[in-house]
Chains A and B, each alone.
Chain A
Amino acid sequence: MNKNFRYIGKRIERDDSLDKARGKALYLDDIEKNNMLHGKIYMSNKPHAFVSINKESALKVEGVTHVFTYEDVPKNLYCSHQWFPGADVVEDENILQKKARFVGDRIALILGESKEAVNKGIKALEVSYDELEPVIGIDEAKKDRSIINGDTNLAFSKILSCGDADSAFNECDYIIEDEGSTPKVHHSAIENHGCLSEMDEFNNIVVYAPCQVVFQVRHIIAKALDYPYSKIRVKKITIGGSFGGKGMPILETVCAFASLKTGRPVKITMNRSETIMGSRSRNSTRIKIKTGFNKDGKIIARKIDAEVDGGGHFTNAAAVTMAMGKKAFRLYKIKNQVFNGKSYYTNTVPGGACRGYGSPQIHAISEINIDNCAKKINMDPVKFRLINAVDPGDKDPIGAPELGNARIKDCLIQGAEAFNWVERKKHIKRKNTSRYSYGIGVAAGTHGNGYKGAFPDFTNVNISILPNNRIWIKIGIHDLGCGTVLTMQQIAAEVFKISTKNIDVPQGDTFISPYDSAGTQASRVTFVCGGAVKKASEVIVNKMLENYTKLFGCSLEDIIYEDGYIWTKNNDKISYGDLADLVESKLESNLEVSVKYNSPGNPAVYAASFVEVKVDNYSGLVEVEDILAVHDLGQAINKTLVEGQIEGGAQMSIGMALSEEIEYRKDGTVKTDNFSKYHIINSPSMPQVKSLLIEDGEPGGPFGAKSVGEITAVTPGPAVINAINDALSCNICDHPATPERIIKAVLNK
């Protein structure tokens, strides 16, 4: 592959980095509109209850203008997870609920002239609850004593399989079984949830949302309010992080409703506790894995039973279960495998996308189990993984798209070498003291590149070359802080041979962006949207060259174009913008193309993490002393952005492994409703993350690139747990491995 790139892979600075660093970037909370009302959601204090509300006392508060409840809103059920009308879901959400299904469910909206008035209105509102028995946790849900929706708490179940696992277990030399759990995780984006909406002069509802999928927000609002799609303008604004948390509309429907109803701009914001309790979370799971293998280390059969806590509304109950299951078939060659996934309604915060979408959960347990298999036959865990890992070009055994240039073996081999794995494994115990135990661990993982094979995965791009030498790319992307805009700029820059500074890529706006089928989710943006930008850039560059030949009477071969200029031996350099001028005045045309791009596939990405931990035998606190994350990402578009993803993903993954959990009390209230109780890994506890990139090129990806942002949150955690188990010679499978769990494991050894 040609690697003489001008822009691809380069550490180009983002256009918005200085503004963000200096606090100049405008976020939702910075935007004020004339005559704007402030709004706050009254969230249910009870996990499972019919609600009745007396508005009187709240309306008496000076400055409170409106109180809306279930009685006031349209009764069109929707599913906030549904990103296009064809996605098969259960619609069980209202703009405001009559029956609260979790502590944090939206039951009323209070509007007022100031934040203070609204806060006082919330305090004054009289709410009475007709309580039902709460269902907290999967075990309680399975009893079906108290039903949340329909006639059972089982929201979804699906079996995926290849070969015949049940009979293949009989042929195995060894069988290792493990069972573990993963927690509900809060995304911890620095910006809490918020939304602003207003009516424009044409009676369009304009929604300013820090969101991931403008067309999904439009769809859900259209559905909830029964308002024309073409009269809803959703603009993605600067976002203070999402990590999946802002994927589903939480406030958008109720905010749009309020503007429509009052005719005034309305801004609704949530604080941290409200965002933890009332938005979405990573689904918690309980996973049982049984793996059969031979004495030479070859896996023969595997059975996975996964139970998912879906929370109070259906949302992603099916999607996340399927996502988990599918990943189980794409990392190791396992001829006989069955995945049995079930998800349940519970009276807790609904599940939603969260960086990795099921991959962190399934790998959390499966990678511990793989280590235990290796241990059983005294084999190095890297070697065990290498024996079973997939190869480039392998097919998916359950019929999903092919794995593509799957480089997991390179990740393991090159990673082990860079980490000095073999030597460290030999000597790690020498570091032990009476106080501290040391261990090292490895884990591998896989993730996808979009929806191809499951859902429509296409996008539209419109590119124009404008007179002042600007390239204008319209595509429905959403920069969630990862540098998506710059990624698109670099891809286009490479094709155009022009600086990224000349390229403008406005973000998702349903009145500007051409339709995109699936939004900024599912690890599809670089692979699919980036592919689309590359394709459309090629089309318009060809158009530019053809027009040049018409204008200057030369052949295509004579043309040289570089750094935003185009010329031939016989003609002086003119800028692309000057050419656009000439095309308009001389050829009565303009340099603009619209291209529809269908994803060419859904290859897998791979990663392996290697870590060393130091465990305090007394406090049970774990320090990650060293971490190396190796990523098979095809080709980095911008190495600085990639490293940022790898570091941030490691922080989230280690957090899920060690300390992050939204904990519920038996009465359905949330224990960990702020950052002094919900413990993310903070900077003093964060190791310096080393990264190693395997850049072998993915044929279908733009310049060989595939996804990286989500898979970064998959392997560090299980590697940490494997290292802890190595340090303490125990088998911790429940996440997070809190100090209490670690001490318990040591005592029970």
Chain B
Amino acid sequence: MNKSIFTAPKSLDELKTALSKKTHNTYIVAGGTDLAVGMNKNKIYDFSLIDITKIKELKKIEYKDDLIEIGSCVRMVDLEDNEIINKYVPSLSKAASCIGSTQIRNLATIGGNIANAAQCADTVAVLFAFDAEVEIINSIGEIRKELVYDVIQGIGQTTLKDDEVIIKVIVKGQEANEYSSFSKIGARKTVTISKINACIKLALNDNKITDSRVYIGSIGVKAVRSLLIENALNNKVFNEELKEKILELGSKQVLDSIPKRKSKDYKKIAVKGILDDIFCDIEKRRNLDE
């Protein structure tokens, strides 16, 4: 029988050491909300764990040189309530607030949401739209940076090597003329896994959209960038008429992305719901600004 080792490094240095001793059945745990479920399901009874939540710097949110640094062990509930995130990446607060139950949000972390690489991961669509990067450490203490978009390769697949751990997420916050929002639809109103989700980030000059990023989740192995919608948004006036047009393009995007999946019949309509939510939310935020 394998010996089970449970370690909880208190610093990146200790983490490095722990990673150097990692075996094939050692798991990195932060919130554990996916890991524990997976271990039960897959009947994994002999295992070792490295708990990274005792490393203080992984739990910080900091605003540094125009960039927001989010420690990988920052929990969903922290993202939901944090002033910096609320101000500079409001769609991330929104996405975090929609994940699972209160109990889940009290444990689940942003690093875990990325590393788990679920098709429907809610914070991921936002991180894509913001071109967020992650910092990754390995067992010899090297730190590398990679776009979240590139880290996630497919469902449950990432570029993370066996001895690597995400330690930080770096996001450039939105400017005063930028707006972003997130919405999702699941099987019910709350405590639900996304059937489809999306994040839109817009730059507005007066009423005119000068730049946009649109990502739709759960219509591909990872959130899909919709150039179709971005092109329709750019250089247009942000109004009700544009919204109606975007809703239709949302349906088209779904059909383009999953032409053969049975779920397309539903998602092509449901996508209008989330796009409508996002438009209304951005409209509301603009009115608050004025």
Contact = CB atoms under 8 A, between A and B. Distances in A.
Interface of A: 62, 116, 119-120, 122-123, 271, 435, 616, 618-621, 623, 659, 676, 679, 681-682, 684-685, 738-740, 743-744, 746-747
A619 B273 contact: yes
A618 B189 CA distance: 14
Given A684-B190, A685-B188, A744-B265, A619 B43 contact: no
Given A618-B269, A619-B270, A743-B270, A685 B193 contact: no
B269 A659 contact: no
B43 A621 contact: no
A676 B270 CA distance: 20
Contacts of B273: 435, 616, 618-619
Interface string B170-208: 000000000000000101111111010000000000000
Contact of B190 (A620, A685, A738, A743): A685
A120 B43 CA distance: 8
B189 A620 contact: no
Contacts of B1: 62
Contacts of A122: 43
Given A618-B273, A620-B270, 13 more contacts: A123-B43, A435-B273, A618-B270, A620-B266, A623-B189, A659-B188, A682-B190, A682-B191, A739-B185, A740-B266, A743-B269, A743-B270, A744-B265
Interface size range of chain B in the complex:
20 to 34
B272 interface: yes
A277 to B, nearest CB: 13
A169 to B, nearest CB: 37
A619 B189 CA distance: 10
Contacts of A681: 188
A738 B187 contact: yes
B276 interface: yes
Interface string B261-287: 001011001101110100000000000
B45 A119 contact: yes
B217 to A, nearest CB: 15
Given A116-B45, A435-B276, A676-B193, A743 B265 contact: yes
Contacts of B191: 682, 684
Contacts of A659: 187-188
Contacts of A743: 265-266, 269-270
A461 to B, nearest CB: 45
Contacts of A62: 1
A739 B270 contact: yes
B76 to A, nearest CB: 16
Contacts of A738: 187
A621 B273 CA distance: 10
A685 B270 contact: no
A372 B185 CA distance: 31
A618 B45 contact: no
Nearest to A623: B189
Nearest to B272: A618
A338 B286 CA distance: 63
A649 B270 CA distance: 30
Contacts of A685: 188-190
Contact of A620 (B40, B43, B269, B274): B269
Contacts of A684: 189-191
5 contacts: A435-B276, A618-B270, A681-B188, A740-B265, A743-B269
A679 B187 contact: yes
Contacts of A123: 43, 45
Contacts of B269: 618-620, 743, 746-747
Contacts of B274: 619
Contacts of B270: 618-620, 739, 743
A679 B187 CA distance: 7
A679 B272 CA distance: 23
Contact of A120 (B45, B185, B195): B45
Contacts of B189: 621, 623, 684-685
A114 to B, nearest CB: 11
A58 to B, nearest CB: 13
Contacts of A679: 187-188, 192
Interface string B16-33: 000000000000000000
Contacts of A746: 269
Nearest to B263: A740
A619 B263 CA distance: 13
A621 B187 CA distance: 8
Contact of B185 (A116, A435, A621, A682): A621
Nearest to A273: B41
